[in-house]
Each structure stands twice: as structure tokens, then as C-alpha cells.
Structure 1
Amino acid sequence: MYKLILLEDENVLRQELAEFLTDLGYAVDAVSTLAEFQKIYTPANHQMAVLDLTLPDGDGMTLIRQLRQQGHRIGIVVLTARGAMPDKIAGLDEGADYYLAKTADLDELAATLAALKRRLAQPEASDCWVLEVGRRRLLPPGQSAIPLSQQDVTVLHTLMAAQGEIVSRQTIVQALGEDFLHYDQRRLDTQMRRLRRKAEESIGIALPVNTARNAGYSFFAEAVIRA
């Protein structure tokens, strides 16, 4: 049975959600403040969390950031009244796996948690470089995550999807949404230099990308792409 911790400060909603999640088969610990969360939460026992953001003793974004900085693999679903796109992007950037507005149907919450269970059940690809597209980060084997720009994600996704093969410069440029005939090739060279420098500065090792002169690039390490 998956054990889940629910953080919601509205009493009636917390009770309703706890009952709903229990009916779905989860073992639920329900708390109303960040302080209670910190007191109850144990990494060994809680596999998932459903978190509100606007809380009486602080911001749930801070909690998400702390959990990820401490390396906890807990699956996180944000359920909040802060449903604007900038808030959603910020929540995913901080490390939430999914971000739902409180206007979401309970069936959507149930489906989201089921998807998260499947995701958590996947074995860790410890010998692979993992690209997490939605969270815009690259996970080198045994190293901390490297944050990426959207352009970084697009370039790496194109290269890692063709692992071990040379990807033409034209293919990469087109993936970036550019017209190859009018594209300044120096921009792609600059993009690759920035990516390599980002990896070296973040984790001190080289990005496993080879350059095929005048042809393109190849990602030569084992690679996994996650949504």
C-alpha cells in the first residue's frame, strides 16, 4: 500500500480529500501546516505527497524546494488555488511532479496519482543520463541534476532520442523551430558550447556529446528520456 502525506489547511477540504484518497487505497497522513508536515513526514514511509501552496505558516513552494535539495525521491502533486500558468511553471521548476488547480475533478487527481505511482515504480537508470523534459533538467549518473533552458531540452531531446547516432545540424535546427536555410550556424555552435560548459560547471564532468565536423552531433552515452 502506498503511503501518502496530504498537506491542506482548509479543514473540510482536508477531511474530504483524506477520505477520497483512503477510498482509493492509499494510507493517508493528513496535516494542515508546514510544521506538521516536517514533524510527520519520513522519507522511508511516505512515497507520495499532495500539497497545497498557500499555508498559514509559509509557502509550499519552499517545502518542495527543500525536499528536492535534500534529495528526497517522494512523488509530489501540487493541488492549489494558485492555478495561473506562471505559478504552475514555478511549481514544476521547483520539483513538483504534477501541478493541479483545485478546480480539477477528483477523478483527475486519482488519475494523476496513478500515473505518478507508475512513474515511481520505474527502476532508476543509474548508469544512464536521464533527460526529464517536463522538469527541464538533466540527471547524469550518480550526480545532481543540471537545470536546463527550453532550448537545452530541445537539443538534448533530439540528440538523446537518436542515442549513438550522428544527428545532422539541419535536424537539430529544425527541432528548434528555425529555418535551416536562414539560420546562422554559429548560433548552434554557441548553444552546444553553453551546454557543455553548463555540465562541466555543474558536475565537473564532460557532457557525452561528440562533434561530427560539418555534419552534426551525437550523444554517445546510455540515455533515457522522461516526460
Structure 2
Amino acid sequence: MRLLLVEDSARLRELIGETIRSAGWRLDAVATLAEAEDAFAGTRYDLVLLDLGLPDGDGLDLLRALRRNRNGTPVLVLTARGAVDERIAGLDAGADDYLAKPFNNGELLARARALLRRAPVSADPVLEAGALSFDPATQEARCGKDVIALAPRERAALEILLRNAGRVTPKRGLEEKLSEFDEELSPNAIEVVLSRLRRRLAPFETRTAIETVRGVGYLLRETGAETPR
């Protein structure tokens, strides 16, 4: 899951970013309408967290433009505008939910999870291969009934590999999807993440294997049998 935060306060971007990333979701954070438009031009998002009072205009303008272009990405409005008529204006403009500042981080995550569950992109919520499954909305990985504890980037890598199960996922594709704005991955970051992911999965009989296709990328395939420990 990749989210976009549009918020002009650097401090709030930092705090909300910590909360979102702690849930295992990837986040791009921008401060203006222009930056948000650039972000949408090159990236598909699963959810937008949108402030309304931005330096170069009203966040509702971005929201209306998305809906005019038939972009159905869920939008959760985060704003200090708490009056009823202002909330109505936001919902009528196409917002899916509305959260007034200041808000509780737990409620922010709960509302985000609810929107992600209802979003068309998560209509096929549970990804599966062998005995391994992953729910993008809850970010929970399982082997049968057992929950597998994963770090955020390990969860993100597993989701990408499962979406491409049986096909090679190019290394460059993993790098692009695991990176965030203003953050560069180290040269061996993907190898480190995949190595850790393999170790996390090793104690479980997932009936899958993550193979390195040298010079190309990685392949998650079903083994049809218990994976070696």
C-alpha cells in the first residue's frame, strides 16, 4: 500500500509520516498542490491524506480535479476546518472521510484501514501463494493460521512479490516501490530486505520460495512441498 500525504506543516508531515510508516505502509509526503499533482502524474496511490489549507491553494481544488478525471482514489481530509458546513463541502467535493485536527493517531490509522478495505484496489484483499497469505489492508502476513511478524519494508517486499507470484519481479521495480520521496536506497538495500524476509519466512512451512534471478530480479514461486528450514 502506498499513501500520499498533502500537508504544508513540516512538523505534521513528520509526525503523520511516523504513524503511517509504523503501520507498514509506504508514504510520499508533499507540501503543495503543485507537488501533489506531480506525485499523481507518476504514481498510483491507494489512499490520499489531504490537508485543505495549502500555500498555493485549497486542497478541495485537488480533490475536485481528481474526481473530474474519474480518479477514485480514496481521500481522507485532514483539516482544522471543523465547522459542519465545511465538512459537508469537503464530502460533497468527493472526500471519502473527514478527520478534524487535532486527531488521535489511532483513529487516523483506523479510518485509513477502513478506507483501504473499501477501496477498489483492495477488492482482491488477500494475496496468496502456497500456504502464505498477505492482506494489504491490514498488512498482516500469515502461514496458515500463524501470523508472521515482519518489518515494514519486509511487508512491502512480500506484497510486491506476491502480486507477481510466479513471475520475475525486476530489481528496479522493487527499488522504485520500496523507495519514498527524498529517500535513496543504499546499493544493497534490496538484497538486505530480501535476505531478512527469507529468514522471517524460514521457520514456517509456506510452500513457497524466493529465488534470485541473477541480473534480473526476484521470483516468488510455489514449491508444492514444504520449504526447507
TM-score (norm 1): 0.52
Please name the residue that 1:37 is paired with. Answer: 36
Q: Give secondary structure in 2 for the equivalent of 1:79.
A: strand
Please name the residue that 2:76 is paired with. Answer: 77
> How much is the aligned-residue C-alpha RMSD, in angstroms?
1.4
Larger radius of gyration: 1
Please name the residue that 2:17 is paired with. Answer: 18
Structure 2 residue 8 is the aligned partner of structure 1 residue 9: yes
* Higher relative contact order structure (alpha carbons within 8 Å, sequence separation ≥ 6): 2
In structure 2, relative to structure 1, the CA distance for the partners of 1:84 and 1:43 (3 Å cut) is farther
1:35 corresponds to which letter in structure 2?
Answer: A
Give unpaired runs (5+ residues) of structure 2.
125-229
Query: 2:24 & 2:96 partners in 1: Cα distance?
Result: 20
Query: 2:43 & 2:81 partners in 1: Cα distance?
Result: 30
Q: Give secondary structure in 1 for the equivalent of 2:99.
A: strand
Please name the residue that 1:90 is paired with. Answer: 89
Structure 2 residue 107 is the aligned partner of structure 1 residue 108: yes
Q: Does the Cα contact within 8 Å between 1:47 and 1:75 map onto a contact in 2?
A: yes
Query: 2:40 & 2:15 partners in 1: Cα distance?
Result: 21
In structure 2, relative to structure 1, the CA distance for the partners of 1:104 and 1:46 (3 Å cut) is same
Please name the residue that 1:220 is paired with. Answer: none
TM-score (norm 2): 0.51
Query: 1:12 & 1:52 partners in 2: Cα distance?
Result: 13
Query: 1:33 & 1:110 partners in 2: Cα distance?
Result: 23
Post-superposition CA distance 1:179-216 (Å, at most 9, x none): xxxxxxxxxxxxxxxxxxxxxxxxxxxxxxxxxxxxxx
Post-superposition CA distance 1:128-187 (Å, at most 9, x none): xxxxxxxxxxxxxxxxxxxxxxxxxxxxxxxxxxxxxxxxxxxxxxxxxxxxxxxxxxxx
1:73 corresponds to which letter in structure 2?
Answer: G
Query: 1:67 & 1:109 partners in 2: Cα distance?
Result: 22
C-alpha displacement of 1:45:
2.1
Please name the residue that 1:67 is paired with. Answer: 66
1:36 corresponds to which letter in structure 2?
Answer: E
C-alpha displacement of 1:122:
3.7
Query: 1:98 & 1:122 partners in 2: Cα distance?
Result: 19
1:9 corresponds to which letter in structure 2?
Answer: D
Post-superposition CA distance 1:8-33 (Å, at most 9, x none): 00011111111110111111000000
Q: Give secondary structure in 2 for the equivalent of 1:5.
A: strand
Query: 2:66 & 2:82 partners in 1: Cα distance?
Result: 22
C-alpha displacement of 1:44:
5.4
Q: Does the Cα contact within 8 Å between 1:43 and 1:72 map onto a contact in 2?
A: no
C-alpha displacement of 1:92:
0.5
After the TM superposition, which segments of 4 or more aligned residues of structure 1 sit over 6 Å from their partners? Answer: none
Give unpaired runs (5+ residues) of structure 1.
124-227
